[in-house]
Structure 1
Amino acid sequence: MSLLDKMRAIGRDSAGVSITEFAIVLPVFMTLGMYGAEIAWMNAAAMEASQVAIALADNASRLGQTDNSGVTPTISTDDVASVLTGALEEGRNINLEGEGRVILSSLEAHPVTGKQYVHRQQCKGNLKKSSSHGKPDPLGSALSGIANGLALGKTKVTAPAGSAVMVAEVWYTYKGLFGTMFVQPFTMHEQAAVIVRDNRNLTPGIGNAKSSNDC
């Protein structure tokens, strides 16, 4: 058989065509599947961080509700630390404690000037991030008060006189499911705010000291 006849025979041979085609398209489908899994996991992480922020603000707003005494409850740093610990536990699936930080700020209206200011602030988590709303003013001087409240996205949040708004922030560094193949590490920032549900003692310096965990 001549070389030309052998080449024609090879051209007519259809054995192994399916395997060859599968081998060609497999890397494409694997890449698309991995990319889809990356996007899904990234969205799931963002949703979990958002849910943690909402739960943290809501839980902080309810502190003191179980106090049945006739005295207006004062919230201590230990009380706030408990809800921060709960937030980190809720975010365990995304390793929020190791790769993130939860920050709780108390936005209040100064009783004299009426200015909005961050009275106290506590945080937990290994990520070195500060609140986007600045440092607290535990003495209540409100010298650098926020005239128009805090901006949470397109929404302005202000605290009514004699009350407070619990502002929760969640910072989380997302690292790709497949390393840096599809996405470089970046930091998510989710926020939520809930007004306190009951009367609360907001007296400066009483149970409102800043946590030893510097924010």
Structure 2
Amino acid sequence: MSVTRLASWVTREFRTLAGARDGVALIEFAYSLPIMVTLGLGGLELVNYTTAHLRVNQIAISLADNASRAKQEVVGSNPRFRELDANESIRAAQLQGGNLNLKANGRVVLSSLEVNGDGGQWIHWQRCGGDKSYPSRYGAEGEGETGTSFAGMGAGTRMVQAEPRFAIMYAEVFYDYQPVVFRGLIPEQTIYKTAAMYVRDDRDLTNIFNPDPAATKSAC
């Protein structure tokens, strides 16, 4: 093949290549794929994070609600709240967490907010569950036993206060959130939710009871 014919052939091939459109879609897809994957996984992370907040909030509400309803009927006296009731309420919260694995990745704190002999707010008793070691953000068992300096549980406009002869079941749930994909988008953090429920019926507030067979105390 002469140089002239070779040059002519090369020119034709380049013109054919320049007019070809067969691989354009594939090339465009290759360029856009990383962006699409990033947006998709980022959306997945945001959905997972939002869902975790919602589930932890629901767990806190259920814990407070279950503890406010649980009781042992006593003939001729007010119903009692037992260590067994506290254990079952905490266990139910952990089971509700499902794949969050709340026992290993979090902590639940259940407090009985009552009124002390001086008319002040008082954390009469407190029970906890979970492998993490988060304490209540509003005080330990016995906080406010005397005096009126303890204001109640909750922050700002969400603070709650018990009324005389009534108790509030105050639930706090801590959950260590682990990002699924993007640790830079949503960092590891502790999700914290609270809920409060008045005890539904009259309850013997003398103590948290533990009749035979005795249950293990879920101490904090």
The TM-score bracket by the shorter chain reads 0.7 to 0.9
The answer to whether 1:22 aligns with 2:29 is yes
For 1:176, the equivalent position in structure 2 comes to: 179
- Quote the residue 1:63 is aligned against: 70
1:120-159 matches, within 5 Å, as: 120-137=125-142, 141-142=145-146, 145-146=149-150, 148-152=151-155, 154-159=157-162
Larger radius of gyration: 2
Which AA in structure 1 matches 2:79? P
Q: Structure 2 unaligned segments of length 5 or more: list them.
A: 1-5, 211-215
Deviation for aligned residue 1:74: 2.3
Greater share of helix: 2
Q: Displacement, 1:156?
A: 2.2
TM score, norm. by length of structure 1: 0.87
Over residues 104-133 of structure 1, what are the superposed CA-to-partner deviations in whole Å (9 max), with x where a residue is unaligned? 0011111x2000011110010112211111
Query: 2: CA distance between counterparts of 1:98 and 1:76?
Result: 25
| Paired residue secondary structure (1:84) | helix
Contact (CA 8 Å) 2:122, 2:145: kept in 1 or not? no
**Which residue of structure 2 lines up, in the alignment, with residue 164 of structure 1?**
167
Q: Residues 129 and 218 of structure 2 are in contact (CA less than 8 Å); yes or no, is this contact kept in structure 1?
A: yes
Residue 84 (structure 2) pairs with residue 78 (structure 1): yes
How many Å separate the matches in 2 of 1:173 and 1:144? Answer: 34
Deviates more, 1:155-164 or 1:10-19: 10-19
Q: Count residues with an aligned counterpart.
A: 208
Shift of 1:4: 5.8
The 1-side partners of 2:11 and 2:138 are apart by 79
**Secondary structure, in 3 states, of the residue corresponding to 1:83?**
helix
Q: Secondary structure at the match of 1:141?
A: coil
Residue type at the aligned position of 2:36: F
CA offset at residue 214 of structure 1? 4.2
Q: Which shows bigger deviation, 188-197 or 95-104?
A: 95-104
Matched, 1:103 2:109: yes
Instruction: Say which SS state the counterpart of residue 134 (structure 2) adopts.
Output: coil
Shift of 1:189: 0.3
CA separation of 1:153/1:22 partners in 2, compared to 1, >3 Å: closer, same or farther? farther
Partner of 2:213: none
Counterpart of 1:36 in structure 2 is 43
Aligned 8 A contact 1:117 1:145 in 2: no
List runs of 5+ in structure 1 lacking aligned partners. Answer: none
SS at the partner of 2:159?
Answer: strand
TM-score (norm. length: structure 2): 0.85
CA contact (8 A) 1:152 1:192 kept: no
Question: Structure 2 CA distance, aligned partners of 1:152 and 1:5?
Answer: 78
**3-state SS in 1 of match to 2:154:** strand
* CA RMSD between the two structures: 2.3
